[in-house]
Chain A
Amino acid sequence: MDLCELSFVKKKLGRFLRNDVLEGVIKQAISECGLIEKNDYSVEEMHKILERMIGFGGFCELVARNIKARLILRK
């Protein structure tokens, strides 16, 4: 599973958030970025989604910061 796959983000969020809540925040982040829901995103798109998730605060922010740091370190 890759860092830019939505299933990866969902899996990590699923450690903390209830499924219904998780689906809601992911949908919101994606639509606020003006993107459509799919599984594979580009690095730039994933950074945008993660930025939105950081803005939501809570465990959503913690998970997003973690994935973002890993994305940056991977380059």
Chain B
Amino acid sequence: MPEFKISVVGDVSKRVILGPTVGIELFRILRFSMENLILAQLGMGKEEENQAKANENIYLVGKAVGGELGKAFLSGIDDLNEYVTKLREILINLKVGILKVVSADLEKGKIVVDIEECVTCVGTPNIGMHICYFEGGLVAGILKFFLKKEVAVVEVKCCANGDNVCEFEATVKE
């Protein structure tokens, strides 16, 4: 298993009895506590603007993690199919979700992927919102690592919006 170059990850093999994973409940509580903390720090008044800023920050963290995942596990792969197959394996192992490519048109710079059983939103109530900014960023960071180009990702379907899957549209920037 290649190692993360992020120092904060440390040597997870030292967690001998409990192993390298944590509960999804903890992930979600941490994820939404962070969002609420950012919102609290932005203050009251401009609710929509503040929510957009919080979403953007969570997206950027996801993008950073995606880039590091690419460096740690996907270096040296130059075929998109092979890259996606390996990526699917990694996202399942990390229990982020089950990745499926819906469409990929590299000439037009458009890639659409689904994530089933998304770590953030599957089973959450329908609140009429897209909430998977971390995962959107993750997809952006991972695609940027492969394409060596900036990629912008938007979540177009989300379980928190009543859909049964998360869907992300990626646009490659020239």
Please give the residue numbers on chain B whose beta carbons come within 8 Å of chain A beta carbons, in ascending order.
5-8, 60-61, 63-68, 70-71, 141, 144-145
Contacts and interface: CB of A to CB of B under 8 A. Distances in A.
Nearest to B70: A57
Interface residues of A, number: 15
A36 interface: no
Interface in A5-39: 14-19, 21
B63 A61 contact: yes
Contact of A18 (B7, B63, B71): B7
9 contacts: A14-B7, A16-B7, A57-B64, A57-B71, A58-B67, A58-B70, A58-B141, A61-B67, A62-B64
Interface in A36-75: 56-62, 65
Contacts of A57: 63-64, 66-67, 70-71, 141, 144-145
Interface of A: 14-19, 21, 56-62, 65
Contacts of B64: 16, 57-59, 61-62
Contacts of B5: 17-18, 21
Contacts of B68: 58-59
A17 B145 CA distance: 17
A59 B60 contact: no
Contacts of A18: 5-7
Given A57-B67, A57-B145, A59-B67, A16 B60 contact: no
A42 B9 CA distance: 34
A22 to B, nearest CB: 9
Contacts of B8: 15-16
Residue from B5, B65, B71, B145 with most neighbouring chain A CB atoms (10 Å): B5
Nearest to B6: A16
Given A58-B68, A59-B68, A62-B61, 10 more contacts: A14-B7, A16-B7, A16-B8, A16-B64, A17-B6, A57-B67, A57-B70, A57-B71, A61-B67, A61-B141
